Structure formats: structure tokens, C-alpha cells
Chains A and B, each alone.
Chain A
Amino acid sequence: MQAGIAVGNLASAIGITTEDAVLVAELKAGSEDAFAILIAQYHQPLYSLIARSLNDPVDAADITQEVFIKVFRGIRGFNGESSLRTWLYRIALHEASNQRRWWSRHKRQEITIDSPCESEDDGSTFSISSTLADAGDSPYDHAAQAEARERVESALRQLPEAFRTVVILREIEGFAYEEIAEILNINLGTVKSRLTRGRSALRAILVAAGSEVVNSSASSSVMQTSKAVTR
């Protein structure tokens, strides 16, 4: 399925489709119906992308609104060199980036892209595959999967911006390398490099988080045992 999405995205990355061209023409004419279609089609994926790109997802709805207003104001300047989807995602990521910069200036210091990331070379023997996605269907499995998803979301938020964006576009949104390169205005080699480093960094964060969970549960069981002994 991922491959199918990627092929579709690759096709749309090449240029504007006929359907898009019709929609864009109506948008440029100021048709309210066309904007209603655009909103219905893209507000959910753009919100999702923005929510995951921001440090504080609470602002995602406001930023999504800013994106659509910018689209409304700038649609006459859209020349069809890229697909409409690519153009929308580019605006959304730009707005999210602006918001992140504001956030980091006012609320916290973010990890820089150049900061060294833990990788598989850390010698850790902890395996995250056992703590992540599970094919089971029992209530316990569902709870475990929800917990795993939450852990991954949290780890994603800790990734440096450049890595996070590429990982989200590739792994969650299912964009092809070429389209990611076009959205972010970087070359294909940089996309691959950021994806490799982003995956490694994410794995390192998950390993660290998983070890803490294991250590804390182990230490709590040791404490319970020692209490039982002292009793």
C-alpha cells in the first residue's frame, strides 16, 4: 500500500493533474465551492502534518487556518510547476516552521540538527521491536499498541526539525523521495541522508525511552521484592 501511495504521489509530483488544473482555475476565479472542496480534501491531512511538525499540537488548528488563508491570498501566484498537493504541503511546512521558531524562541531551546544523535553504534542490546507494533488483537494488545504509538509520537517530537519533517513525510504521509525533495526544496541525496539520520535518531530515542521503562519497571519490582523480604 505504501508503494502504491508513493507511486501516486510521484505522479502528482511531476506536475499538476487535469483535476487539479480545473480546481485551481476555479480557485483563481474565487469560487467558494472550489474552496469548500479544497478544504474538505486537504484540511485533515494538512492539520495532521502541522500537528506533528509543531512542538505544541494545540496550535495546529490556528496554523491550519493561516495556511488556508495564505492559499486563498496566494492562489493567483500558483503557476502549476508543482502539484497542488505539493504546493499546499510546502506552505503548511513553512507556516509550521515559523511557528516552531516562535515557540523555540519563547518557550524552549530545540535540539539542533548538528547535535550528535545516538545511533545503533551505542552498543545497546535493548530491542525496541518487542515494545512497538504488535499484530495481536486482545484488549491488552490494543492498550500496548496505543502506548507504543504514544511513545513514538513523543519520540517524533524530540527529533530535530529537519529530520522530523522528512520522517513524517516519508513514513506517515507516504511521500516519495522526489516529492519530499520538491516540497522541502532540497536534493534527493539530502532527503536520503536526512531520512537515514532521522530514522537512526528516532530509534536511539526509542531505545533510550524503552530502556528507562524497562529499568524503572525492573527497579520497582526489585523494591517490591526487598520490601517483601524486610516484612
Chain B
Amino acid sequence: MIPRHCSKIRACFSDYLDGAVSGQQMQEIAFHLESCEDCERGFADLRAMQRTLAALGPAKAPADLGMKLRLAISHEQAARRSSWTDKVSLKWENAVRPMLLQVSAGFAGSVALVGSIMLLLGMVAAPEPVMANDEPLGAMTSPHYLYSATIPQAIVTGHDSAIVVEAYVNAEGRVYDYDIVSGPEDATVQTQIVNQLLLSVFEPARVFGAPVRSRVVVTFSGISVRG
């Protein structure tokens, strides 16, 4: 068991070592150390330890450390000075340029591959069949009725049905022949139909603007039934 006074004195050893105690405390501690062997030994230990620590000196740095540090600072300065164009250039040199050959080769290879595939498909695939709608329909017009030289007369017949006639129209728009598709075909009716068709004028069919012969279906619906 350490006496209370010794504990109090030992608590001040650290400050006493550094001379950070008052004159009175210093005197009290010095007086105590003269009379207390244990405390004197403890303080001697601390003082010896302090001397040894002070004598340790600096831990020796590697001989080339100064040069390495200057080099590191130079790199930092160079990095700070470089403009954005330098940075882009540096990135290009370090990251893009080494891959440029591979990227170009890859791109060219891809183009060649896709081109070859397209060519093969074009050569092997069956050509599209020619269809009617391939014709430029806009360049063809159908014939249509324009007018009649006389007032159209009703066709008198004994049957109550419409008469459908297929008329053949020449390039001048005149009917030069006909067929009765449906309806009565007796002589009276045919005479009336001929009269009507001969006096009718048609706009001829045209191909690329040139009038051509064509056929037109005419329906006589105004039938007068004899009663």
C-alpha cells in the first residue's frame, strides 16, 4: 500500500520533469525525494526514460525520400497546369489510342459482314413477282359517258328488268359494237339500244394521255313496260 503523500507526489512527477510546477511544489517534491527511497527510484526511472527518449533522435528517412517527394510534387504541378485539351489529349493517348486499331478493325469487319449478308440475301432471295398494281394506274383512264346527240329515249320492252350492255368504244369515243350482257335481246330492244349507243358520245379511255379503244358497261334502268 503506497502512502497517500507518496501518491500525491508521484502524480506530480510528470510536471516536475518538465519544470511545470510552482516553486513551492518543486521544493516539496525535492524534499520528499530525499527522504523516500521508492519515490526517488520511481522519479529516477522517469528521468532515465526521458533521457533515453530524447536521445533517440529522429528516425532516419530513406536517402532518396527527398527526391521522391520532389518528383511527386512535380507530377502534381504538371497535372494542375495541364489544360482541358491536354487532359483530353492525355486520355486519348492513354485510353483510346491503344484501342484504336482494334476498334477500327472491328468496325470494318462488322461493315464487311453486314454487307456480305445483305448481298447474299439479295442474290439468293426470289424476286418479287410482277403484279397488276405495279402499273402506274394514274397514267390510265377508263372511258365514260359524256353526252347524247338527242334527248335519251326510254327503251320500251315487255320485261320488267334492267338491261346491261357492254359497249365497245373506239379512240374517238364512239361505240362501234356492243353485247347485251343481260336483259331482253329481241329485235325491237336491240334497235332501240343501237339508236341510243350510236348517238352517245364517250370520253375514250387513255393510256399515258393517248386515246385507245376500250369497253364500257352501260345499264339501261329507265325501262318503260308496254301495257
Binding site for B on A (CB under 8 A): 2-3, 30, 32, 35-36, 39-40, 43-45, 47-48, 51-52, 57, 60-61, 64-65, 68-69, 72-73, 120-121, 127-129, 132-133, 145, 148-149, 152-153, 156, 167, 170-172, 174, 177, 192, 195-196, 199-200, 202-203, 206-207
Contact = CB atoms under 8 A, between A and B. Distances in A.
B49 A35 contact: no
B49 A39 contact: no
Contacts, number: 125
Contact of A43 (B13, B50, B65): B65
6 contacts: A61-B61, A68-B72, A132-B51, A156-B53, A172-B54, A206-B45
Contact of A195 (B14, B49, B60): B14
Given A48-B58, A73-B76, A148 B65 contact: no
B69 interface: yes
B73 A129 contact: no
B51 A35 contact: no
A157 to B, nearest CB: 12
B49 A48 contact: no
A129 B48 contact: yes
Contacts of B69: 39, 43, 64-65, 68
A72 B54 CA distance: 31
B174 to A, nearest CB: 103
A203 B46 contact: yes
Q: How large is the interface on B (under 10, 10 to 19, 20 to 34, 35 or more residues)?
A: 35 or more
B77 A30 contact: yes
Given A61-B61, A64-B65, A196-B13, 18 more contacts: A32-B74, A39-B70, A39-B73, A43-B65, A43-B66, A48-B59, A48-B61, A127-B45, A132-B51, A133-B52, A156-B53, A170-B18, A177-B20, A192-B20, A195-B14, A199-B46, A200-B14, A206-B45
B113 to A, nearest CB: 50
A152 B52 contact: yes
Nearest to B7: A121
A72 B76 CA distance: 8
A188 B50 CA distance: 20
Interface in B1-40: 2, 7, 10-11, 13-15, 17-20
A100 to B, nearest CB: 16
A192 B55 contact: no
Given A32-B73, A129-B48, A120 B42 contact: yes
A192 B62 CA distance: 33
A92 to B, nearest CB: 13
B114 interface: no
A47 B65 CA distance: 9
Contacts of B49: 128, 132, 152, 199, 202-203, 206
Interface in B44-102: 44-62, 65-66, 68-70, 72-74, 76-77, 80
